[in-house]
Structures are given as C-alpha cells and as structure tokens.
Chain A
Amino acid sequence: MRLFFYLFILVVAICYTYIAFVDLTFFTNRGRMGPGFFPRILGLAMVIAMLLVILGDIKKNTLFSGTQDSQYKDAAVLIGFSLTFGVLLMVFGYVVAIPAYIGATLFYFNRGKYVTNAVVVVAVPVVIHFLFGSLLNASLPHGLWW
C-alpha cells in the first residue's frame, strides 16, 4: 500500500511538473514572474523529494511493509460507504442519502443493535434538516430530481 501511495504522489507530481513546463511560462513578456514560476520550482522539488523518499525506503526495506495488512478492511468499507454517500447525495439529495448512508454504516459496524440503529437513522436526517435548513438557513443538497 505504501508503494502504491508513493507512486501515486510521484505520478501526480510528474504530471504537475509536465503541465507547469508545457503550459505555463516561467517569465512574462515584461520579464516578471510568470504563471509557471512557482509551479515549475514546486513540481521539480516534489519529484526530487518523492524520489528521495522512495530510495530511502528501498534502502531501509520498508517500501513493501504493510501490504498484507488486514486492518485496511474496515477503513476501506467506511471509505466505500462514504464515497457512495457522496454520489447518492448528488443524485437523490439528503433526504434519501443520509438515512441510506447511516443505515448501511450502522448495519455493518454496529450489528445487532437494531433499536439504537433505527433511532439514529431516523434522528440524524431530522436534526440535520432543522440545524442546517431551518436554524442556520444553509443550503442543503436536494439532488437532481428535486
């Protein structure tokens, strides 16, 4: 997992640097700092620093540690639920998405506590509606069909 994360950052840093060199100029026509001045320096520094990090981990033999870690399972499930919640919120709005998300999360992580889970599933959307919608007069996501 560590290796994948390092590679992800390295690839993003390389793409950032590429765009900074190709699309953005270092100086303006007047010889002042151009839009690419900062990004080019940052991009190069990021690529070099990430390479140093990866080399350092290869030296210390820690690059592949933790790849078989089973602890990721619960975090991955929660991340999956959360991203699905984002999509549900965009499509169906908070009235559907919040109970669905809370219900799914509690069903998975808090098994057997049916009464508690049911109370939370009902109470949270109501509290959110009154807190954000009524008390704070803030926008709430109503979805595409509202």
Chain B
Amino acid sequence: MEIFDNLLMGLSIAITPMNLLYLLLGAAIGMMIGAIPGFGPSAGIAILLPVTFSMDPISAVMMLAAIYYGAMYGGTITAILLNTPGDSTTVASTFDGFPLAKQGRAGPALVMQACASFTGGTIGVILITLLAPMFAMVTRSFGPPEFFLLCLMGILTLVALMSGNWILGLVSALIGFALGTVGVDLETGHQRFTFGSTELIGGIHFIPVAIGLFGIGELFHAFYSGAHKSGTGGIVQYQNEERFWPTKKDLRESKFTMPRNAVLGFCIGLIPGAGATIASLMAYSLEKSLSNTPRKFGQGEMRGLTAPESANNAASSGAMVPLLTLGIPGSASTAVLLAAFIMWGLRPGPLLMADNPEFAWGLISSMYLGNMALLVISIFAIPLFVYIIKAPYRILAPLVLVVCVMGTFSVNASMIEVFIMLGAGVIGFLMKRFGFSPAAVVLALVLGPMAEESLRQTLIISRGSFDIFFLRPSSVYIMVFFAAVILSGILLNAYRKKANIQGAQA
C-alpha cells in the first residue's frame, strides 16, 4: 500500500505542467539522438547535461532520464530502415527489422517496435516500483567493504562481458581508474598528477571526458568509417506506406514475446556491467529457441524484432535499480546519469528513497508517463525521424561538435575542460578504432574515487586487514554472486557470437 501512496506522490510531482513539458522534450530529444547512428543514450545525456543547468533539479533529472530511455526507442529506427543500429543495444533489432523493411513492411515494423519498447519499458518501471524499495532496504546494511566490492565487481563484469578482447577492456578500465586519481588526495591533502595546475586540483571532471569519449569520439569515428560521404537518403527503406499498421497476426504472435522478454531484460539489466546489448541478444536467442519456426528468424520475423526491443528497454529500466538503491551505475549511460544526480546535490544510494522520496518517486512516476509519451511520439512522428536520419552527416557533425564544445565550456567556464574534451574525443576515436572500451573508461572514472574512498574506510575499520571481505556475510554473498556472473559471462559471449553469426548469415 505504501508503494501506491509513494507512486501517487511521485505522480503529483511529475504531472506539473513544467515537468511534463521537460519530460516530453527529453523523450523527443532522446528519440532524435537515438535515431542518429553512433549516438547512444550516454552521448545524448552527456551532451545535454549542461543545458539543464538552469532547471529545477527534479525537472532536469526527469528530462535526462527521458533522454536515456527515449534514445533506446530511437535507436531502432535506423536499425530497421538503414540496417545500421543507432547503438549497440539495437544490433539484434537489425536481424529481422531490416528484412521486414525490405519486404515493404517498415511501417508495421516501426509500430511493433514502439509497442515492444513500450511494453518493455513499462514492465521495467513496474518492476522498479516493486523491487527498488526492497533493494534499498537490503542495501541499507551495506558498509564500505560491500560498496568497494560492488564498485570493483561492476567494472569487472563490464570487462568480462566485453565481446572483443577482454585485456583491452581491462586497460580501458584502468585508464578510467587512473584518471580518477588526478587531484587532491582527500585523506592526506597531497596533490596527485596535477603538475602544478590549479585547474586539476579538483580532479578531472567527468562531463568533458564523457562528452569527449562518447560524443566527439563517435563523430571522428563516423568520419573515419565514411558515414559523411554516403549520406543516408538513398538507402532508407521507408515511403509513405499505405499498410502502415501491423496486422492482427503480428499482434497475436508477439503477445507473449514482449512481456516474457521484458522480464528477462529487466533481470539482466539489474546486473552491473551486463546491460541492454546482452539482454537484447539473449532475448533474440531465447525467442528463436522457443519458436516452432526458427528458420523464419533473420528473414523478417516480427518476433525477432519485438523480443530484443522489449528486452533492451526493460534492461535500461533494470539498470536504474542499482543506480537508485546503491548509487552504483551499471552502464556508461547510468554513469552519466549518476554524474547528473551528484551535480544536482542528490546522492543516490540506500538512503535516497528515505531521504529524498519526492525525487526518487517523482523520477519513477515520470518513467511511466515518459513511456506513454514515447509510444505516441514514436508512432506518429515516424516521418519526422525519417527526415532526421536523411540529414547528411557531414552537416550534422560540425553542429554537434559546436554544441558539445559550448556545453562543456558552460559547465565551469573553463577552456582547459574544452581541451580535455577534445583530447578525450581523439582518444575515444582511437579507442573505438582499436577495440578498447570508452564505456569502461567512463564507468571506472566515476567508480574509481568511490572505490578508493570505500577501500580506505574498509581498511581503517579492519585496521589494515583484508580479511574483513571474507568475514562479513554480505561481502561474501556479493563476491560469490559476481563470481557466478563473471563465469556466466563466457556463456553470454558465446550467445552473442552465435546471434551475431546468425544475423550475419541472415
């Protein structure tokens, strides 16, 4: 009953005209950003974070969260129409989405993906509503040893689940941790790696690095891969379609596909480091294995589109649970969201729901409204998004770069941060080019100082002994849980490779 009271309280906050306006704006911007190939939710939130400075904190965080899950909706549009996933989370949607578009069924495919995203997102938010308070209650008993382990395990899971070379993932994480050590050591007051610069005493700020790695790095990489030359106008598989709406058969076939993969996606999203990409690929494999006609998958099967879509949206909701209840981001996008929360003076963690209920429940309630808004936007604004993805990249790229630069400068009026951002952009491009993980850098940059602080507190409590990690039951449970997750990472990667091969064959 308490949950419903809290939810109503949250709705009363979310439903004010200004908050609704920002929510709709965030959802629409998120969809547009998702529709631009290469730009994921992390880039979108990072780029637009400075724009929210003049807003009320709750409105700002609602808008940023709407950009986050709006980008998950938008990423599929290019996957269906161009066979180019907007983000890695929509790779699985190309397997059947693009064949559907080639068959002249782009309209029904886009409507069904919107329905699947809505189902996944809404089931995900319902599960957040039910589970987040329970998680918060359990994690209230966590101390510094558990927080240190969660920080460490979160990043190790991301590294272990990387599809490519895991050592490159480890190097990326170490680079992020190392960047987090720049600045004054809070325990001793000693300056570390500042080289006498007053600008670096406070450490390397997260925002320029995130904007550089995700926003600028993606732009440079797109130019490297030639996206600016081709344009997209010639290969968009969409005309003003007469048979726009899905058939009854489409709806009937997907009626169980969407909810079951939403639950699967949510559970995977809960695990720090696992994320929506793995959730969508697993959902595709699961749906194919449950189907009586697996051969149709890869040739334009509607369930092959709705399963990953439902799962990746639910996973993005699942990733909000560790963020809200532990203050630990499970993905690059939630790491950027965490930075936004901290910037607004909110400290996500076990006490957030007790100390700031209006914020926590306002955000959760706004996600219900946001998903409804996105369903409507993503169905009725399809021609607009088709127009956006037809815009030549060579014109779009310099505009995005200018917005990134101005946004970074506006945070602290610092040109050093602009150069840090541009440098991070070049590094991000080369990292992407050679198989490193910019997401691991960003996640480690956020988690590094938290890990160091909690390890320091742990060693003070234990008088310098590491035995404390084996003496506290909750620490042992966390280690066992993550050992299982990391071991299962090998299986998940096998799933991913199998699904990729099947997609390529299709």
A33 & B399 in contact (Cβ 8 Å cutoff): no
- Residues on B with C-beta less than 8 A from A75 are 220-221, 223-224, 429
B171 & A49 in contact (Cβ 8 Å cutoff): yes
B 401-415 to A, binary, CB cutoff 8 A, 1 in contact else 0: 111011001100101
- The reply on B15 being an interface residue by CB < 8 A is no
B464 & A53 in contact (Cβ 8 Å cutoff): no
> Which B214-259 residues have C-beta < 8 A from chain A?
216, 219-221, 223-226, 228-229
20 A-B residue pairings within 8 Å (CB atoms)? A5-B430, A16-B178, A24-B192, A33-B455, A35-B190, A39-B181, A42-B181, A49-B174, A71-B224, A71-B225, A71-B226, A75-B429, A78-B220, A79-B429, A82-B216, A82-B425, A98-B402, A128-B402, A136-B410, A140-B406
> Which A1-55 residues have C-beta < 8 A from chain B?
1-2, 5-6, 9, 13, 16, 19, 23-24, 28, 31-35, 38-39, 42-43, 45-46, 49-50, 52-53
A 77-92 to B, binary, CB cutoff 8 A, 1 in contact else 0: 0110111011001100
- The reply on A109 being an interface residue by CB < 8 A is yes
- Residues on B with C-beta less than 8 A from A96 are none
- The reply on A139 being an interface residue by CB < 8 A is yes
The docked-state distance in angstroms from the alpha carbon of A34 to that of B188 is 7
The docked-state distance in angstroms from the alpha carbon of A89 to that of B181 is 29
Known contacts A49-B167, A74-B226, A79-B220, then 10 further A-B pairs from the complex at CB < 8 Å, ordered by chain A residue: A33-B459, A38-B181, A50-B171, A74-B229, A82-B425, A83-B422, A86-B418, A94-B406, A109-B228, A110-B394
Contact partner, B422, options A31, A53, A86, A120, Cβ 8 Å? A86
Contact partner, B405, options A35, A38, A89, Cβ 8 Å? A89
Residue of A nearest to B185 (CB): A35
B 248-288 to A, binary, CB cutoff 8 A, 1 in contact else 0: 00000000000000000000000000000000000000000
A 47-79 to B, binary, CB cutoff 8 A, 1 in contact else 0: 001101100100000000000000110110011
B167 & A53 in contact (Cβ 8 Å cutoff): yes
- Residues on B with C-beta less than 8 A from A39 are 178, 181, 192-193
The docked-state distance in angstroms from the alpha carbon of A31 to that of B402 is 49
- The reply on B504 being an interface residue by CB < 8 A is no
Instruction: Contacts A39-B181, A83-B422, A120-B399 given; indicate if A141 touches B392 (C-beta within 8 A).
Output: no
B422 & A46 in contact (Cβ 8 Å cutoff): no
Q: Which of B22-30, B48-56, B300-308 contacts A (4 or more CB under 8 A)?
A: B48-56
- The reply on A124 being an interface residue by CB < 8 A is yes
A136 & B167 in contact (Cβ 8 Å cutoff): no
- Minimum CB–CB distance for A74 against chain B, Å: 5
Contact partner, A24, options B190, B452, B459, Cβ 8 Å? B190
B174 & A140 in contact (Cβ 8 Å cutoff): no
Instruction: Contacts A83-B422, A139-B409 given; indicate if A33 touches B181 (C-beta within 8 A).
Output: no
- Residues on A with C-beta less than 8 A from B405 are 85-86, 89
A33 & B187 in contact (Cβ 8 Å cutoff): yes
- The reply on B204 being an interface residue by CB < 8 A is no
The docked-state distance in angstroms from the alpha carbon of A46 to that of B170 is 8
- Residues on B with C-beta less than 8 A from A98 are 402
B394 & A109 in contact (Cβ 8 Å cutoff): yes
Count class of interface residues, chain A: 35 or more
- The reply on B382 being an interface residue by CB < 8 A is no
- Minimum CB–CB distance for B171 against chain A, Å: 5
Q: Which 6 A-B pairs have the closest CB atoms?
A: A138-B410, A35-B185, A75-B224, A139-B413, A109-B394, A105-B398
A32 & B459 in contact (Cβ 8 Å cutoff): yes
- Residues on A with C-beta less than 8 A from B1 are none
A78 & B219 in contact (Cβ 8 Å cutoff): yes
- Residues on B with C-beta less than 8 A from A137 are 54
The docked-state distance in angstroms from the alpha carbon of A138 to that of B411 is 8
A28 & B422 in contact (Cβ 8 Å cutoff): no
The docked-state distance in angstroms from the alpha carbon of A46 to that of B405 is 30
B54 & A136 in contact (Cβ 8 Å cutoff): yes
The docked-state distance in angstroms from the alpha carbon of A34 to that of B186 is 10
A32 & B187 in contact (Cβ 8 Å cutoff): yes
> Which B413-434 residues have C-beta < 8 A from chain A?
413, 415, 418-419, 422, 425-426, 429-430, 433-434
> Which B96-150 residues have C-beta < 8 A from chain A?
none
> Which B457-475 residues have C-beta < 8 A from chain A?
459-460, 464
A141 & B409 in contact (Cβ 8 Å cutoff): yes
- The reply on B395 being an interface residue by CB < 8 A is yes
- Residues on B with C-beta less than 8 A from A139 are 409-410, 413
- Residues on B with C-beta less than 8 A from A106 are 394-395, 398
- The reply on B388 being an interface residue by CB < 8 A is no
A 112-145 to B, binary, CB cutoff 8 A, 1 in contact else 0: 0000100010001000100110001111110000
Contact partner, A101, options B174, B221, B402, B403, Cβ 8 Å? B402
Instruction: Contacts A82-B216, A89-B415, A140-B406 given; indicate if A28 touches B178 (C-beta within 8 A).
Output: no
- The reply on B177 being an interface residue by CB < 8 A is yes
B 156-187 to A, binary, CB cutoff 8 A, 1 in contact else 0: 00000000010110110011011001000101
Residue of B nearest to A27 (CB): B464
B220 & A138 in contact (Cβ 8 Å cutoff): no
The docked-state distance in angstroms from the alpha carbon of A84 to that of B146 is 46
